[in-house]
Amino acid sequence: MYIWGQPGWPRFEWDAEALIAPLGETRLKQGRLLGRMQALGFDLQLEAELQALTAEAVKSSDIEGEVLDAASVRSSLARRLGLPDAAAAVDRRAEGLAEMLLDATRNHTEPLTAERLFAWQAALFPTGYSGLARLRIGAWRDDAGGPTQVVSGALGRERVHYEAPPAARLEAEMAAFLDWFETPAAMDGLLKAGLAHLWFVTIHPFEDGNGRIARAIADLALARSEASPQRFYSLSSQIRRERAAYYAELEAAQKGGLDVTRWLAWFLASLGRALDGAEAEMAGVLRKAEFWRARQGLDLNPRQRLVLNRWLDGFEGRLTAPKWAILAKCSPATAQRDIADLLDKGVLIRNPGGGKNTSYAVAD
């Protein structure tokens, strides 16, 4: 019997005392990261958010076996955040996923409704197809092809991991879920995010896209718990690293009783590991913040700031005068003057070698 067939569904239960310690630890990590990010300037906050959302989009799709071009996703998100575009070719799937993630986080105070979920699914499948299969868009699944199942294995040796509730129950099931999600309750926001993820993906209301939408719902709940429209970590990146465990825990919960303590404990632990890894993933942004904080009194022109930021972002190859002229869109003579000024101020140092091969590096 699946969890949705249990007497009392969907009245979930959990051991609050067993979750006190992991919840407190994860809350501490969350607060520490948010505090450090808030200390950054506005531009660096946007850059950190762009990095986290790009990882969230790419990895959430990768969990389902769909590979998206990271540059396209970053470009889509950058335009919507008002940041310089990565100038990459953008595909419609990247556009749709960017729209869904930003709607979930930036508009987290807006109610979650069936119409909003329909729009998210339509954004994920802009052609109306998943591979060669035509999808129902803007509507719950109808099970016309039989029961909806999560299956793995080669043809003829399939293994059914889960079977979703019949389509005839979806209107009532989703009405109950959305009512619960929008009703204030004496429940910690992190637990609500974990339970919402499990509940939605268990109902499995769409023909495709349920996992990605479930993780976006969790992101929305996390944004509400933080009272912040910005996201500086990627839960999906951590879930992708633990994909086997993720699916195993979902299957165990969906085949178990209404006590979901084990699932919530795993969700909190995975979220905690995502928060642990966020500072490492944001190392470049934090390094840039420290660089400019140490040089905040320097009088630099816009070209110098532009090229130094590109250096800090880690462009390939050496920094030379010709490359400076290209990046700053200036003449070679102007590039030489910019470099000479930074050498005098101790911002740049000259690498060994000279002549046509002269290159420079940012001083420690």
Instruction: Give bridge partners of residue 150 from the DSSP assignment.
Output: 162
pLDDT at position 87 = 54
**Domain coordinates in residue numbering, the chain:** 3-284, 295-362
pLDDT at position 312 = 79
Return d(Cα 336, Cα 341) in angstroms, integer.
9
Pick the closest to residue 217 from 185, 244, 177 (CA basis): 177
Whole-number CA gyration radius for the chain: 24
pLDDT at position 112 = 98
Question: pLDDT digit of tens for each residue in the chain (364 aa)?
Answer: 899 999 999 999 999 999 999 999 999 999 998 888 887 777 778 888 888 999 999 999 999 888 888 888 888 888 888 876 555 556 788 889 999 999 999 999 999 999 999 999 999 999 998 887 899 998 999 988 889 988 877 777 778 899 999 999 999 999 999 999 999 878 999 999 999 999 999 999 999 999 999 999 999 999 999 999 998 999 999 999 999 999 999 999 999 999 999 999 999 999 999 999 887 777 777 777 778 878 888 899 999 988 888 887 777 778 899 999 998 899 999 999 999 999 999 999 998 876 667 888 888 7
Return d(Cα 348, Cα 360) in angstroms, integer.
6
Return d(Cα 48, Cα 68) in angstroms, integer.
20
Other CB atoms within a 10 A radius of the CB of residue 235 amount to: 25
pLDDT at position 65 = 85
**CA–CA distances in Å: residue 206 to residues 130, 200, 278:** 12, 10, 31
Encode burial over 151-172: b for 16+ CB neighbours within 10 A, e otherwise. Answer: eeeeeeeeeebbbbbebeebee
Residues with Cβ within 8 Å of 124's Cβ and at least 6 positions away in sequence, in order, are: 93, 96, 97, 100, 208, 209, 212, 213
Residues with Cβ within 8 Å of 344's Cβ and at least 6 positions away in sequence, in order, are: none
Q: What is the CATH number of domain 295-362?
A: 1.10.10.10
261 token code pair:
């303590």
**CA–CA distances in Å: residue 329 to residues 112, 272, 323:** 46, 44, 10
Please report the sign of the dihedral spanned by the C-alpha atoms of residue 279, residue 282, residue 285, residue 287.
positive
Other CB atoms within a 10 A radius of the CB of residue 327 amount to: 17
Assign domain 3-284 to its CATH architecture: Orthogonal Bundle (1.10)
Residues with Cβ within 8 Å of 282's Cβ and at least 6 positions away in sequence, in order, are: 37, 48, 51, 52, 232
pTM of the entire structure?
0.82
